[in-house]
Chain A
C-alpha cells in the first residue's frame, strides 16, 4: 500500500519548535533521537524522519483500513542513507517493513513508500486536477467522469462515474505544497 507526506520546511519552522523539551521524546525512539542529534543537520533530519513516519502511517492505515490513530513511536525508521537531494531508508510498523524514498529541497521534503510509481509535487492547488489528468491518460478514460472522494476514515480514493477505481494513491498538503504518489500497477 502507498503513502506519502510533504513538509513545507518554512512553514514547519514557524509551526513547530522541535527543540522544545519533550518534543523529540514523544515522536522518536532513542535510536532515532541519537541519529538526529549526531547528524550534520538535526533540524532537517527531524522533519525527514517525521515525514517517513507519516508516509508509512498513511500506508498502513490504508492497508489494514485502520481508524485514525496517533502513535508516532510505533513507526521506527532505520537504515537511513542521506545523499545530496535525496534520502532512503526503511520504516517498520509491527511486522511490516516499508522501503521509503525522500527527496530533499531547501524548502521542502517529500517522502513516499517504495511502491510509488510516480509522484507529482506542485506549488499550487491544482495537483488534484493533474492527478486525475494523469490517471485519465494512463487508463484512457474520460477525465470528466473522474473524481476524488474521501471515505469515512478520511482516506481519499479515485472514482469513475461514482465507482471506486481502486487506484492506490496518497495525497499530502502542507503550506505552499501539495504532492501525490500513485501506484497504477497495483490496480
Chain B
C-alpha cells in the first residue's frame, strides 16, 4: 500500500474524532492527534480500533504507546503490514 493511501485512510479515520477542524487543513505526518486535532484521549482508542479494522492488523500495547502523531500511526501500520 502506498504511503499516501495510508495517510488518506488515517485522515478519514480520525476526522469524526477531531475537535479542532483547522488541524485537518494542514494534515501531515507531523499532525499530533491530541495537540493539533484535539482528539479526546478516550477517543484515541477508537482511532486505534478503526485502524485495526481498516488495515486488518493488530496494534499491541507497545505500539500503541508511541502513537501520538499521524506519522507514528503510519509507521506502525507499515510495520504491521510488512510483517503480516
Q: Chain A interface (Cβ within 8 Å of chain B)? A: 12, 15-17, 20-23, 26-27, 50, 54, 68-74, 154, 174
* Contact (A15, B45) CB under 8 Å given A69-B65, A70-B68: no
Q: Chain B interface (Cβ within 8 Å of chain A)? A: 17, 34-35, 40-46, 48-49, 52, 61, 64-68
**CB neighbours of B17 from chain A (8 A):** 15
Q: Give A5 to B46 CA distance when docked, in angstroms.
A: 20
Cβ-Cβ contact count across A and B, 8 Å cutoff: 47
Least distance between A6 CB and chain B CB atoms (Å): 12
Least distance between B20 CB and chain A CB atoms (Å): 13
- Sample 27 A-B pairs with CB under 8 A, ordered by A number: A12-B42, A15-B17, A15-B40, A15-B43, A16-B40, A16-B42, A17-B46, A21-B49, A22-B49, A23-B46, A26-B48, A54-B41, A68-B34, A69-B65, A69-B68, A70-B41, A70-B64, A70-B65, A70-B66, A70-B67, A70-B68, A71-B61, A71-B64, A71-B65, A73-B61, A154-B35, A174-B40
Q: Are B65 and A23 in contact (CB under 8 A)?
A: no
Q: Which 5 A-B pairs have the closest CB atoms?
A: A71-B65, A26-B45, A69-B65, A16-B42, A22-B49
